[in-house]
């Protein structure tokens, strides 16, 4: 019985692998990572250049933490994560690294990102009820919607972990009415992303 269960599990994994290979999931992830890596490298290089030639980045981040309210910064980040993720999370992670309680504020950032994804999901659900918006958004996010229909949970996992705008994936999930309970579960990987990135960024700042 155990052998049968193991063989069935292996067969299922093999079938999933074949499906994702055939539908181009791995190629999509590879291209997305390549596209994301270049901007990240440019941002990091730019930050290091500014730190070395223009001003002391550490002092700037300390000044930001002393000048602006944490609630205000978290609020801006939450709005960004709810609306297409326009501001790179790495900047906010660097801010958390210079705060008095880095892990605490990092956790708040991850929570804000997670909640922002939920807001984006319901934006997607709401869009389907407004024909004018529905047609426009579905045209703009056609690729994301198509991919979410094909790959479902795996695409949400990739969006949560990799430097791909998570809000777009969340909106697409809402538009196709991806099961909300499953979305909440997969989106928890957002916390993993923030803690992993912090291991690098905290050392830099």
pLDDT tens column, 58-111: 666 667 677 788 998 999 899 989 987 777 788 889 889 888 899 999 999 999
Residue whose pair of structure tokens reads 């002092």 in the numeric block: 59
Identify the pLDDT of residue 200: 82
Give tens-digit pLDDT for 171-180: 888 988 899 9
Identify the pLDDT of residue 100: 85
- How many domains does one find in the chain? 1
- Sign of dihedral through CA atoms 152, 154, 166, 168? negative
Q: Is 59 inside a domain boundary?
A: yes
Identify the pLDDT of residue 190: 94
Mean pLDDT score of the chain: 80
**Is 142 or 161 the better-scoring residue by pLDDT?**
161
Residues 25 and 56: their CA atoms lie apart, in Å, by 42
Distances (CA, A) of 11 to 17, 22, 50: 10, 16, 53
Across the range 9-18, mean pLDDT stands at: 71
Q: Which domain holds residue 89?
A: 43-204
Position 54 confidence tier, pLDDT thresholds 50, 70, 90: low
Q: Is 186 inside a domain boundary?
A: yes
Residues 174 and 56: their CA atoms lie apart, in Å, by 43
- Give me the phi and psi of 143, to 5 degrees please: -65, -45
Residues 30 and 158: their CA atoms lie apart, in Å, by 11
- 172 and 121 Cβ atoms separated by less than 8 Å: no
Identify the pLDDT of residue 120: 94
Q: Is 151 inside a domain boundary?
A: yes
Q: Is 25 inside a domain boundary?
A: no
Q: Is 197 inside a domain boundary?
A: yes
Q: Is 63 inside a domain boundary?
A: yes
What number of other Cβ atoms are within 10 A of residue 33's Cβ? 14
The pTM score is 0.74
Identify the pLDDT of residue 51: 60
Q: Is 20 inside a domain boundary?
A: no
Q: Is 8 inside a domain boundary?
A: no
């Amino acid at each position: 019985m155990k052998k049968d269960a193991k063989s069935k599990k292996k067969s299922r994994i093999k079938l999933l692998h074949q499906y994702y290979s055939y539908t181009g999931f791995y190629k999509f992830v590879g291209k997305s990572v390549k596209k994301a890596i270049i901007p990240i490298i440019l941002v990091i290089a730019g930050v290091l250049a500014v730190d070395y030639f223009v001003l002391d980045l550490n002092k700037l981040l300390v000044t930001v933490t002393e000048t602006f309210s944490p609630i205000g910064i978290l609020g801006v980040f939450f709005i960004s994560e709810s609306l297409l993720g326009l501001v790179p999370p790495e900047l906010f992670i660097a801010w958390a690294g210079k705060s008095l309680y880095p892990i605490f504020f990092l956790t708040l950032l991850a929570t804000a990102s997670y909640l922002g994804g939920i807001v984006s999901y319901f934006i997607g659900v709401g869009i389907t009820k407004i024909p004018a918006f529905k047609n426009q958004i579905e045209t703009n996010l056609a690729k994301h919607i198509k991919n979410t229909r094909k790959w479902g949970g795996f695409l949400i996992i990739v969006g949560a972990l990799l430097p791909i705008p998570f809000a777009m994936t969340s909106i697409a999930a809402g538009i196709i009415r991806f099961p909300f309970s499953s979305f909440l579960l997969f989106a928890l990987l957002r916390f993993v992303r923030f803690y992993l990135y912090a291991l690098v960024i905290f050392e830099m700042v």
